Amino acid sequence: MSLKKIDATTLHDIQSEADSRQLPIDRVGVKNLCYPIQIRDRHEDGKTEHLQSTIATIQLTVDLPHHFKGTHMSRFVEVLNSHGPVLHVLNIRTILEELISKLHAEQAHADFEFPFFLEKEAPVSKAKSLINYRVRFSATLSKQNKEDHFDFVVTVIVPVTTLCPCSKAISEAGAHNQRGEVTFSVRCKKAMWIEEMIRCVEDAASCELYTLLKRPDEKFVTERAYANPVFVEDLVRNVALRCEKDSNIIWYRVEAENFESIHNHNAYALIERPAAKQRASQSSESD
């Protein structure tokens, strides 16, 4: 059976029809789309770099004016695929430019979430293993009033160990500890290494995590955590202090959740604000 050739120009385009409800939509598009991407990671010497290949879960959206009935979902995938089988993070702005152009929008948004792997040495045995973190890139391009505004936020989600200062202070032997998770987001003047963000969080905790630990390593991390107790409040403040000292950071958000080992609930804290120099700049402008 032969397939009849179809002329796409003769097919009814319902999405482009007018809508009478007078309600614009803030974001419409595709979600939970998996795609291979490449991420720059830093070499051990702190200077050279190479590309790490991973798989991202992607959300692409645009605004929809009130007079359009719908958007053309296929064009989101077409734009993404036009950049080849492996996407580089530097293409994100170009993707947003193309979405705005093809979908006649004023704003386009892209969210990429992916696993990011680092090789770590155990603290005593020096045994090497890979540990994974979650990373998110959130980008928005706005073309309104003949001006372009590009916003880019990097988020790392870092698992850590925390040990309770109160438990240590009141107990004759031991103290309860737990695994926590820190979600750390930044806007920066220039690109910040994912590894730098991870290190900032791990240094703020009682101890960092490792995939492979031998007995001497386990002794080390247990004693290190005991020597560095932190509340969930300490955790977010420790990260925030590092951000305040970094002139490259414009804005930050640090969120910590401890999966409590002696309670049936979690402990939580959050700090979000412009960095100190950005606050000073805003203050002088308002004066």
> Could you give phi then psi for residue 10, rounded to 5 degrees?
-95, -5
Q: What is the DSSP letter of 44?
A: T
Average pLDDT over residues 164-182: 94
Domains of the chain: 23-113 (3.10.270.10), 122-287 (3.10.270.10)
Per residue in 21-61, pLDDT tens?
678 888 999 999 999 999 988 766 656 668 899 999 999 99
Antiparallel, parallel or unpaired: β 25-42 and 87-88 = parallel
Amino acid at site 79: V
Contact criterion met (CB below 8 Å) for 63 and 140: no
Contact criterion met (CB below 8 Å) for 208 and 200: no
pTM assigned to the model:
0.87
Per residue in 61-74, pLDDT tens?
999 876 666 677 88
> Could you give phi then psi for residue 266, rounded to 5 degrees?
-110, 155
Per residue in 80-123, pLDDT tens?
999 988 888 889 999 999 999 999 899 999 999 999 999 999 99
Contact criterion met (CB below 8 Å) for 91 and 99: no
Reply yes or no on whether the pLDDT at 229 is more than 90: yes
Average pLDDT over residues 129-146: 93
DSSP-based three-state secondary structure for 202? helix
Local confidence band at 6 (pLDDT 50, 70, 90 cut-offs) = low
DSSP-based three-state secondary structure for 151? strand
User: What is the pLDDT, as a whole number, of residue 13?
Assistant: 56
User: What is the pLDDT, as a whole number, of residue 252?
Assistant: 97
Cα–Cα–Cα angle for 181, 182, 184, nearest 5°?
155
